Amino acid sequence: MEWANHNLRRAIACAVAEYLQRSAAYLRQPRGVDVLVLGAARTAEVIDALDVGAHQLGAALPDEVAASANRLREWARTLKQQTQTAWAADKDDAASASPFAESP
């Protein structure tokens, strides 16, 4: 029975590794901001999960690796805010350039 459990854990680990590899290949292609923001957020979740697992094994991740999850989240928030600000400015510019815009 232990052999079956080992094989199941191994199969799950291989599936996770393959999924991460495919995700990385996808993110290497030119993508929009939303894909990068989501990729950063999910990568932070993976790092958090690795950190929990490493602590359970008594082999903590290096501090800079664990801290990178928070840096990724902050980068994603900043990127999203910058994009939303730029989008709002473009929208305002387009509205003011419209022939239907109200004159002052």
Residue 73 in contact with residue 44, Cβ under 8 Å? yes
Query: Pick from 26, 60, 62, 59: which is nearest to 42 by CA?
Result: 26
C-alpha–C-alpha distance, residues 15 and 5, integer Å: 15
**pTM (predicted TM-score):** 0.68
Predicted confidence (pLDDT) per residue in 24-81, tens digit: 888 888 888 888 899 999 999 999 999 999 999 999 999 999 999 999 999 999 998 9
How many CB atoms are located within 10 Å of the residue 45 CB? Answer: 13
Query: Pick from 71, 22, 81, 69: which is nearest to 43 by CA?
Result: 69
